[in-house]
Structure 1
Amino acid sequence: MGRVPDVEVNDAGADASGDAYVGLRDGTANDVQDMRRMGKQQQLQRNFSFLSIFGFSMILMSTWESTLGTAAFGFGNGGTAGLIYVYLGTVVGFSLVIASMAEMASMAPTAGGQYHWISEFAPRSSQKFLSYFIGWLCVLGWQAGTAASCFLAGTEIQGLVILNYDNYSPQRWHGTLLTIAVIALCAIFNTLLAKRLPLIEGVVLVLHVAGFFAILIPLWILAPRSTSTEVWTKVEDAQGWGNKGVASLVGIITPVVSLLGADAATHMSEELKNASKTLPKAMLATGVFNGSLGIIMVITFCYTIGDIDSVLATPTGYPFIQVFYNATMSKAGATAMTSIMTSLSIFCGMTNMATASRQLFAFARDNGVPFSRHFQRVPLGWDIPLNAIFFTVIVSSLLSLINIGSVIAFNQITSLGLCALLSSYIVSISCIALKRIRGEPLLPSHFRMGALGLPINLLSIGFLLLAYVFCFFPPAPKPALDAMNWSVVIYFGVLMFSLVYFVLRGRHTYVGPVEYVRKSA
């Protein structure tokens, strides 16, 4: 079924590009055609444009901010040189991944994202089974991602308290309570202020860019400077892995968590005007801009970190806070710089929550989870999946409790989200690669990679498999139970639960998005 031509215009008018609008809720004629082809009803209001969805993606990825927040893993595994080279390789790898996903997003711009693409692109015999399990992993990945971003913001606030109050005795449960407070704030943005979300994203995008320079310039002017020889040649295995290459790859969690989330805009596509055109542009632009800012920041941080051992031992819990203090020699200056980071981390949690709730809403709409009718409900007048948002708040709060019992809680929560989302990327890109290998026709799209499609898909899969394996590693090879990376237990626990649910109920209620596509054809 072809698309409605862009030149068709009705009484609702058209945007600057000439694309026909059917209405504020329905978007353009292309949006209506896409939803009709996929057999979905337009329930959410399309109030995002290119700028607001670009801001949404930029803030969710928060590449340069996440680089500073998670740099301890890279410095502890690989040192400055190891972190830089792994970061550069990860930027290249994720560029290929983003291109692959942008092409699929243009073909099927739906809040379901990866599990929907798998349902359409996988071999018919495995469409239902694969899309079901990837749907569960996508839900898990974004729920964990929300918890991780809010945990980062909450513990950064705790780090500021440690910096400014010498008599404060930090406890892990304090960080958990601060995390829950951040989650509650993000919930307010996603419910009471939901209709203002596109405007908020545009404003925060300005802070994201301005904050980058507000951090970068003081570091280059005030911080002590390491030599280029130290920065570019000092690969270390401080944790005792026995091999510097392995140690550097264990530190891949820093660049991966900084560049993950290219699919975030996809899950908001049913709230985006002219999604099949705008979505791939926003995804590619986000990858280019955030990747560039991340490279500049990681190199800057490596030059200005000073003595790595003393910085990693900072009582604040975050090396970047100590580096800010060492550079400014002022608690007020370090507090101001860290406050920028913390504010952006809170907004990152806000966008993660929006994405996680839409992913759950989409999967529930296809009857993929228990209580699907409850999670797919969009209350009249709200135009948001309210119950899915409340569920995300509860899950994020529960995951933050891991911090009370583990000294590497952020690593565990983050690894859980990373591995779940990386799994969805691997399977979805593998499905479209298989269609190319078999010479099967692809869906029409506004963004197509042509002859480069298969090589890019295959290289993407290879990179993702490497990252997937190392994201299950703990930050150090220590035998202590509280230092282990228990994310693998939760990851496979969710898979086992989904398998049991599939056998008992899911196989009877879940048919997969492709069946709705066939019915609408």
Structure 2
Amino acid sequence: MSSVDKEIVSHEVGLDQSLQDDRDMERLGKSQQLKRNFKFYSILGFTTTLMASWESILLTSTYGLTDGGRAGMVYVYIASFVGFFASVISMAEIASISPTSGGQYHWVSEFAAPRFQRFLSYLTGWLSVLGWQAAFASICFLCGTLIQGLLVFNYSDDSGYVYGFERWHGTLLTIAIAVVGTLINTLGAQLLAPLEGVILFLHLGGFVAVLVPLWAMGPGKAPDSAVWTEFSNFGGWSGMGLACLVGQLTPLFSWTGPDAATHMAEEVQNAAFVVPWCMVSTALINGGLGFIMLVTLLYNMGNIQDVIAPASGFSFLPAVQHATGSTAAANGVAAIILVMEVCSAISILATASRQTFAFARDNALPFSGALAHVNKKLHIPITSVLVSTMITVLLCLINIGSTAAFNAVASVMIAALFTTYILSIGAFIRARLLPGGIPHARFSLGKFGLAINVFSVAYLIFAITFTFFPTAANPTPVDMNWSILVFGVVVIFACVQYLLHGRRIYQAPITQVRKNE
């Protein structure tokens, strides 16, 4: 085939994909406002770096080491991944049927029982919007605290001197990270798709750059029995099993956000095919990288009691220092992780703004007209981007008064997003059981779909319970996990908002889908 023929075929394939995207948008009752800049590898880079699983395993290892220890982290990771992957492929099938930026709240509207679909859709939308807003605040704050942790790690000595910092330092660093993400998502919006391809390379290259020194420079490895059979219960829970379940916060945090590709669907070419396969690929890639990094950390970190409560707040810093025998190497690893987490913040802001844009497009939010406006030059919902940043700035001001209060707000993201997964997959199970079944999907679970859906909902309900636990038994008010309180307030707020505002003007997506059936 000549180069001219190949170009003609490529052009025809592109037209077919474009027509498929147009047909999907027409069926969903939406007009194409955003520019489809993302292809498979760019959206794969977007989602893999957003989740940043191997980086998050290192950053949040303190939770798992405290509750479960070495062996606990290994087996909880494996078990959690099985449940997590079932949830991802369940949502991937739904995304193939309805590839829209609305994501879960649209799915609930389309597949829930008619009597409840409007209210449940509205509740799901609020939980998703607030969950992603909390996710952006959380990742920015995590970057800020990592910088502070590096200062403590480098400017403390054996004489007892510890570098001191004020809470407002962390607030300013959080705002700085948020500003960087905002600049990329606005002034650099046209470069976001090609940039994600580069970031994917950094994600994979950074993994190798961290992994190799940990194995090559370590003074001695832990015995196999320590990694695979020794459990720890430093949290003081009544049983080792309960301690391990509480420690699953480490893998859960590293897998937050598998629905991100869905919220970018209206900017993805051939979305009904690419988005679900991107979700599956992201889960497999990050799940594998995360497990390899976890095992590497457990073999090379040294004595668990020496890293369990570091002054910096990050167990991986003394662990890497022990593994490599070098403070400079620990700083290098931290710098790589910091860069990747900033890249994650960029992707999370894009996701949060698209979810806000989609919900406002259905008149579900205050000032919906402004939030749903798409800038004609940049082809992005720039108001939603800026409002998302302002929410993070306002939230991080809470940290000046109380870090515990801020953490309670930020940590609600896992519970909020997991609840939206439960509601959307649960609604899809109902649709499967109807006489007509579900619509045709370009990514299908086939005859195993119902069993996988039911298992994923059961796992999510089980997992979400332990996100509300504190890291130690009998916590003080400061150490208490207050996310259950914040989550309850969010649910009550959404219900009241529906009664006062939503039921009058909210345009449930299913009403628009029906117009085009």
Question: What TM-score, normalized to structure 2?
Answer: 0.94
Quick check: 1:422–1:468 contact (8 Å CA) kept in 2?
yes
Instruction: Report the equivalent of 1:177.
Output: 172
Quick check: 2:408–2:486 contact (8 Å CA) kept in 1?
no
What 5-or-longer segments of structure 1 have no aligned partner? 1-12
- 1:57 aligned to 2:47? yes
Shift of 1:220: 1.1
Within-5 A mapping of 1:399-478: 399-406=395-402, 412-478=408-474
Instruction: Report the equivalent of 1:212.
Output: 207
Q: 2:194 aligns with which of 199, 202, 205?
A: 199
Q: Please identify runs of 4+ aligned residues in structure 1 that moved more than 6 A.
A: none
Q: 1:290 aligns with which of 282, 286, 295?
A: 286
Instruction: Report the equivalent of 2:382.
Output: 386
Within-5 A mapping of 1:63-212: 63-166=53-156, 168-212=163-207
Quick check: 2:86–2:453 contact (8 Å CA) kept in 1?
yes
Equivalent-residue separation in structure 2 for 1:400 and 1:15 (angstroms): 52
Q: 2:356 aligns with which of 353, 360, 369?
A: 360
Quick check: 2:63–2:249 contact (8 Å CA) kept in 1?
yes
Deviations 1:405-453 (A, max 9, x none): 5555685345300000000000110111122233432122211111000
What amino acid is the match of 2:326?
Answer: S
Shift of 1:65: 0.5
**SS in structure 1 at match of 2:165:** coil
**SS in structure 2 at match of 1:369:** coil
Task: Among all aligned residue pairs of Structure 1 and Structure 2, give the percentage whose two residues are the same amino acid.
Answer: 44
Deviations 1:47-96 (A, max 9, x none): 00001000001001111001111111111111111111110011111111
Quick check: 1:257–1:414 contact (8 Å CA) kept in 2?
no
Deviations 1:152-180 (A, max 9, x none): 11111112222222363133332222111
Deviations 1:310-341 (A, max 9, x none): 21222221111111222233332221111000
Within-5 A mapping of 1:8-27: 16=10, 18-21=12-15
Equivalent-residue separation in structure 2 for 1:334 and 1:21 (angstroms): 50
Shift of 1:190: 0.7
- 1:233 aligned to 2:229? yes
Equivalent-residue separation in structure 2 for 1:267 and 1:518 (angstroms): 21
Equivalent-residue separation in structure 2 for 1:360 and 1:427 (angstroms): 19
Shift of 1:353: 0.5
What amino acid is the match of 2:264?
Answer: M
Shift of 1:17: 8.8
Equivalent-residue separation in structure 1 for 2:26 and 2:323 (angstroms): 57
What amino acid is the match of 2:363?
Answer: N
Quick check: 1:72–1:312 contact (8 Å CA) kept in 2?
yes
Quick check: 1:415–1:472 contact (8 Å CA) kept in 2?
no
Instruction: Report the equivalent of 1:33.
Output: 23
Q: 1:255 aligns with which of 237, 240, 251?
A: 251
Quick check: 2:264–2:354 contact (8 Å CA) kept in 1?
yes
Equivalent-residue separation in structure 1 for 2:178 and 2:299 (angstroms): 34
- 1:45 aligned to 2:35? yes
Shift of 1:132: 0.4
Shift of 1:287: 0.9
**SS in structure 2 at match of 1:55:** helix
What amino acid is the match of 2:439?
Answer: L
**SS in structure 2 at match of 1:314:** coil
Within-5 A mapping of 1:305-384: 305-384=301-380
Equivalent-residue separation in structure 2 for 1:452 and 1:404 (angstroms): 50
Equivalent-residue separation in structure 2 for 1:293 and 1:236 (angstroms): 24
- 1:485 aligned to 2:481? yes
Quick check: 2:148–2:170 contact (8 Å CA) kept in 1?
yes
What 5-or-longer segments of structure 2 have no aligned partner? 1-6, 157-161
Quick check: 1:151–1:410 contact (8 Å CA) kept in 2?
no
Distance 1:348 1:488, change over 3 A: same
- 1:221 aligned to 2:211? no
Equivalent-residue separation in structure 1 for 2:325 and 2:10 (angstroms): 51
Equivalent-residue separation in structure 2 for 1:447 and 1:15 (angstroms): 24
Which one has more relative contact order, counting CA pairs under 8 Å at least 6 apart?
2
Quick check: 2:302–2:323 contact (8 Å CA) kept in 1?
no
What amino acid is the match of 1:378?
Answer: V
What amino acid is the match of 2:116?
Answer: S
Deviations 1:458-491 (A, max 9, x none): 1101110111100111111234221111222222
What amino acid is the match of 2:392?
Answer: S
What amino acid is the match of 2:366?
Answer: P
Question: What TM-score, normalized to structure 1?
Answer: 0.94
Shift of 1:273: 0.5
Instruction: Report the equivalent of 1:515.
Output: 511
Equivalent-residue separation in structure 1 for 2:465 and 2:10 (angstroms): 46
Distance 1:298 1:411, change over 3 A: farther
Moved more, 506-515 or 232-241: 232-241
Equivalent-residue separation in structure 2 for 1:451 and 1:402 (angstroms): 49
Distance 1:293 1:508, change over 3 A: same
Equivalent-residue separation in structure 1 for 2:468 and 2:233 (angstroms): 18
Equivalent-residue separation in structure 2 for 1:424 and 1:181 (angstroms): 30
Equivalent-residue separation in structure 2 for 1:14 and 1:362 (angstroms): 35
Paired residues, what number? 505
Shift of 1:14: 7.4
**SS in structure 2 at match of 1:435:** helix
Instruction: Report the equivalent of 1:275.
Output: 271
